[in-house]
Amino acid sequence: MKILVTGSYGQLGNEIRVALQQFPDTEVIMTDVDTLDICNKNAVERFFEQNKPDFIVNCAAYTAVDKAENDVDLCYKINRDAVENLAKSAAKIGAKIVHISTDYVFDGTANVPYSEDVKVCPKSIYGKSKAAGEEVLMENNGQNSIIIRTAWLYSIFGNNFVKTMLRLGAEKEQISVVFDQIGTPTNAADLAKAIVEIIHTKTFVSGIYHFSNEGVCSWYDFTKAIFDIKKYDCKLLPIESSQYPVPAPRPSFSVLNKAKIKSVFGIEIPHWHDSLLKMTEKN
């Protein structure tokens, strides 16, 4: 089996590399923008023809949510147009794609966890571009594609909320964090393990799936857990989102219902607090 990973220098890309170490017989091609710019249609087509991967795991994305509000063209180029390149080139060689999307495709007005059949209604440019990426993938390689929507991703690799709070908690006497945005964190190592498991041991069933860790919390609760684990003295104040204005609108409720991925693939998902503990042990 041959697996091509795009965006492999990112949080998830790195975790996929680690997860694939469990399968030493698998041939893995790790790429990022320096070796395979997914925006370059001809380069993608040529790369696929030459290497003939069985699976493409697309970890490449434009993920700067606030910057995207003023960087619309590049955001769409990476999150929609490049996904179309991957889908068309994969279809030509009969390759399967696992693509990652986001809870930001929802507007966050629900009060029960989002299942896959809820209509998307993104509010931010990033969310809109990711929803458009889902659409072009399904149009061009739908029979051979899995889309996994995830949320609040963090990892020992790259920059993320957990690492920021580990730093701020050690440096500051007091910080304020929003308590009115509710979701579920996802340790990228758990998502990577699930993706690798699906590819290696499960029957490939195309479609959209949701994956985060189990449980629910606000960003305030999440930060409280980080500070408690590290026994930081930093005082933590809950604030409303209106007190912390940012360029891109965030869904106020984006808990994902994971029943489908659990029942179709038999994936077991750890609780967010257990996974946070595992990550913070390494930091």
Ligand X SMILES: NC(=O)c1ccc[n+]([C@@H]2O[C@H](COP(=O)([O-])OP(=O)(O)OC[C@H]3O[C@@H](n4cnc5c(N)ncnc54)[C@H](OP(=O)(O)O)[C@@H]3O)[C@@H](O)[C@H]2O)c1
Nearest residue (CB) to ligand X, 25 versus 75: 75
Active site residues: 126
Range 202-221, binding ligand X (CB under 6 A) = none
Position 78 contacts ligand X (CB under 6 A): yes
Range 130-169, binding ligand X (CB under 6 A) = 130, 150-153, 158
The piece of 6-14, 134-142, 230-238, 247-255 that touches ligand X (CB under 6 A) is: 6-14
The piece of 54-62, 135-143, 199-207, 229-237 that touches ligand X (CB under 6 A) is: 54-62
- SS3 track for 149-202: EECCEECCCCCCHHHHHHHHHHHCCEEEEECCCEECCEEHHHHHHHHHHHHHHC
| Residues 91-110 as x/- pattern, contact with ligand X by CB under 6 A | ---------x-x--------
The piece of 8-16, 43-51, 116-124, 242-250 that touches ligand X (CB under 6 A) is: 8-16
Spatial separation of the C-alpha atoms in residues 262 and 116, rounded to whole Å: 13
CB of 100 to ligand X, least distance (A): 4
Q: Do 97 and 63 meet the contact criterion of CB atoms below 8 Å apart?
A: no
Q: Do 104 and 254 meet the contact criterion of CB atoms below 8 Å apart?
A: yes
Percentages helix, strand, coil for the chain (3-state, rounded to 5) are 45, 20, 35
Total residues contacting ligand X by CB under 6 A comes to: 25
Q: State the distance between the two ends of the chain, measured CA to CA, in whole angstroms.
A: 34
Position 254 contacts ligand X (CB under 6 A): no
Token pair listed for 232: 């930081």
Position 59 contacts ligand X (CB under 6 A): yes
Give the Cβ contact number of residue 113 at 10 Å: 18
